[in-house]
Structure 1
Amino acid sequence: MNVKRGSTTFLKVIIFLAGIAVLASCIWLPVIAVRDAKVHPDTAYFLIPFLVCSYGFCIAFSVALYQSYKLLTYIENNNVFSELSLKSLKIIKICAFTVIFLILLGIVSLKVLAKVTGDDPAGPISLSLMGILATSIITAIVDALQKPLKNILELKPEND
């Protein structure tokens, strides 16, 4: 399997830039939370679940990015059909399910906050549902890659 080095390098750069964006959001999250707590002191305690979900999301997303980077390294080294690649795909899938769970937790927190404040949470909830859809698509793609790879690895020792 001969993959051009340029395409994997391009994807690695994209992953690196996405990692920088996640790091920047982790740095700015407390600043934004403090600013919002000063503006709305009566609902400041609702920021804790959002911060927990946000940092959990950032951690899971960072782990998935790292595993994607490792997977691209395996592809560059012509080591795609290995247990290491399968393990990376499993971890990416677990991270995707974690992201979905955290987004759902954020939606529940948002609904509770909307009941307390009387605001309409339709916009943020619809964006959250779009995030769940995108993550579900990624999970389906990873699963579609994982099954044939697992079958190939199960057949490999029999042929040797």
Structure 2
Amino acid sequence: MNVKQSSTTILKVIIFLIGIAMLALCIFWLPEIAYKDAKIHPDTAYFLIPFLVCAYGFCITFSVALCQAFKLLTYIEKNNAFSELSLKSLKVIKKCAFTVIFFILLGIVCLKVLAKVTGDDAAGPISLSLMGILVTSIVATFVSVLQKPIKNFLEKNEIKM
């Protein structure tokens, strides 16, 4: 096994483990957290629905991006890094990044409304959400930067043929 294949294999294992963690979050922890919160705060239990929509939307979108990253690593292993398939995977990852940002913003709006109703301060969760938006924006920018050389390579090869 050469260095490139071992590094992509390690990245694939990491992506797989993150995917398992996301699945566990969606199946076990999110419903449990929602149930406990509804028991503790029955007067604001109806606010759990928008939060669960945001959380599951985030998880599903993130899982799609993980699958595309896994596919991209497979293309790299097969020496197809500069192909239409890898470009398509990068486009999907970028769209997923923007969708994740949308769900985080939707969650911030829900937090602000909940803070108005309950009188609580939502500065902590909102600041964490803004950091998540920053990280997701960095990922989207990185993917956009990766797309340019692949597009240029494909256009040059298309002209030569």
Gaps of 5+ in 2: none
CA distance in 1, matches of 2:38, 2:148: 47
Q: Which residue of 2 aligns with 1:129?
A: 130
Asked if 1:114 is matched to 2:112, the reply is no
CA distance in 1, matches of 2:106, 2:3: 40
CA distance in 2, matches of 1:158, 1:132: 39
- Give 4+ residue runs of structure 1 displaced > 2 Å after superposition: none
Residue type of the partner of 2:12? K
Residue type of the partner of 1:21? A
Residue type of the partner of 1:15? I
CA distance in 1, matches of 2:102, 2:152: 29
TM (normalized to structure 2)? 0.96
Q: Which residue of 2 aligns with 1:61?
A: 62
CA contact (8 A) 1:19 1:62 kept: yes
TM (normalized to structure 1)? 0.97
- What SS is found at the alignment partner of 2:79? coil
RMSD: 1.0
Gaps of 5+ in 1: none
CA contact (8 A) 1:3 1:76 kept: no
CA distance in 1, matches of 2:4, 2:100: 31
The number of residues matched between the two structures is: 159
- What SS is found at the alignment partner of 1:63? helix
**C-alpha deviations, 1:14-41, integer Å up to 9, x for none?**
1001101101110121111011000000
- What SS is found at the alignment partner of 1:47? helix
Q: Identify the range of structure 1 (49-58 vs 24-33) with the bigger mean alpha-carbon deviation.
A: 24-33
> Post-superposition shift, 1:154?
1.1
Q: Which residue of 2 aligns with 1:24?
A: 24
